[in-house]
Chains A and B, each alone.
Chain A
Amino acid sequence: MVSSVLIANRGEIVSRIIRTCREMGISTIAVYSEADANAPYLQMADEAVLIGPANPVKSYLNISAIIEAACKTGAQAVHPGYGFLSERGAFAEAVENAGITWVGPSPQVLKSISSKSYCRKIADSVDVPTIPGTLGIVKSPDAVVDFGNANGWPVFLKLDKGGGGKGIERVSGESEAKKVFQRASRIGEMAFGSGDCYIETVVDNPRHIEVQFLADNFGNCVCLGERECSIQRRHQKIIEEAPSVVVVEDERALLFDRTVRIITKIGYQGAGTLEYLRSGDGNYYFMEINARLQVEHPVTEYLTGIDIVKKQLSIASGEALNIEQSDVRFNGHAIEARIYAEDPETFIPSPGVITALEFPGQDDKIRIDHALKANTSVPPYYDPLLAKVIVWGEDRPDALSRLKKALSEFRVEGVKTTIPLNLKIIDSQEFQSGNIDTNFIDTSL
Chain B
Amino acid sequence: MEKSVDAIMPGLCARVVVEEGEKVSSGQEVAVINCMKTEISVSSNFNGIVKKVLSKEWDELQVGDPMVILETDE
Contact = CB atoms under 8 A, between A and B. Distances in A.
Contacts of A342: 36
B37 A351 contact: no
Nearest to A236: B37
A382 B60 contact: no
A94 interface: no
Contacts of A349: 9, 11, 35-36, 38, 40
Contacts of A445: none
Contacts of A341: 36
A57 B60 CA distance: 11
Nearest to A352: B10
A381 B60 CA distance: 8
Interface in A10-64: 53-55, 57
A99 interface: no
A305 interface: no
A349 B40 CA distance: 9
A219 to B, nearest CB: 37
A381 B11 contact: yes
Contacts, number: 41
A380 B58 contact: no
A57 B38 contact: no
A55 B58 contact: yes
Interface size class of A (residues with CB under 8 A): 10 to 19
B12 interface: yes
Residue from A55, A234, A349, A384 whose CB has the most chain B CB atoms within 10 Å: A349
Interface string B2-46: 000000011110010000000000000000000111101000000
A347 B38 contact: yes
Given A55-B60, A57-B58, A348 B11 contact: no
B63 to A, nearest CB: 9
B58 A384 contact: no
Interface in A302-346: 341-342
B36 A382 contact: yes
Contacts of B36: 341-342, 349, 351, 380-384
Contacts of A234: 38
A383 B58 contact: no
Interface in A49-106: 53-55, 57
A384 B37 contact: yes
Contacts of B38: 234, 347-349, 384
A55 B60 CA distance: 7
A383 B37 contact: yes
Contacts of B58: 55, 57
Interface of A: 53-55, 57, 164, 190, 234, 341-342, 347-349, 351, 380-384
26 contacts: A54-B60, A55-B12, A164-B37, A190-B15, A341-B36, A347-B38, A348-B38, A349-B9, A349-B11, A349-B36, A349-B38, A351-B10, A351-B35, A351-B36, A380-B9, A380-B10, A380-B11, A380-B35, A380-B36, A381-B11, A381-B12, A381-B60, A382-B36, A383-B37, A384-B36, A384-B38
Closest 8 CB pairs of A and B: A349-B36, A380-B10, A384-B36, A380-B11, A349-B35, A380-B35, A349-B38, A55-B58
